[in-house]
Amino acid sequence: MIDYLYSFLLALAFLAISRVGTKRYVLWPGLLIVLTLVHVNHLADHPFARMVVICSVLLMGMKGIVLAEWGRYLTWPRWFAFTILWFGMDPTPFAAEKRKLRWKKDAMIGLSFLLVGLALSTVVAYMPTDSILIMFVPMSLGFHYGALRLLTAFWRMQGIAVRPLFRNPLLSRGLADFWAKRWNLSFSQMMARAVQRPLVSRLGKRPALFAVFLVSGLLHELAITVPVQSGYGLPTLYFILHGLVVLIEKPSWPLWFSRALALLLVAAPLPFLFPPVFTENVIRYTLNYLQIF
Long-range contacts of 94-102 (CB under 8 A, 24+ apart): 94/160, 96/160, 96/161, 98/158, 98/159, 98/160, 99/159, 99/161, 100/159, 101/156, 101/157, 101/159, 101/160, 101/161, 102/156
pLDDT of residue 22 exceeding 80:
no
pLDDT band at 19 (very low <50, low <70, confident <90, very high): confident
pLDDT of residue 168 exceeding 80:
yes
**Residue 46: φ, ψ to 5°:** -65, 145
Percent of the chain whose predicted confidence (pLDDT) is above 70 = 99
pLDDT of residue 293: 59
CA distance between the termini of the chain: 28
Q: pLDDT tens across 198-230, in order?
A: 899 888 999 999 999 999 999 999 999 999 999
CA–CA separation, 239 and 213 (whole Å): 5
Q: pLDDT tens across 172-195, in order?
A: 999 999 999 999 998 898 888 888
- Backbone φ/ψ region at 45: left (φ over 0), alpha (ψ -120 to 50), beta: beta
DSSP 11-75: HHHHHHHHHTT--HHHHHHHHHHHHHHHHHHTTTS-HHHHHHHHHHHHHHHHHHHHHHHHT----
- Half-sphere exposure at residue 60, Cβ-oriented, CA atoms within 13 angstroms: 25
pLDDT of residue 83: 92
Cβ 178 vs Cβ 216: under 8 Å: no
CA–CA separation, 104 and 230 (whole Å): 43
| Radius of gyration in angstroms for the set of CA atoms belonging to the chain, rounded to a whole number | 19
Instruction: Enter the pTM of the model.
Output: 0.91
pLDDT of residue 202: 87
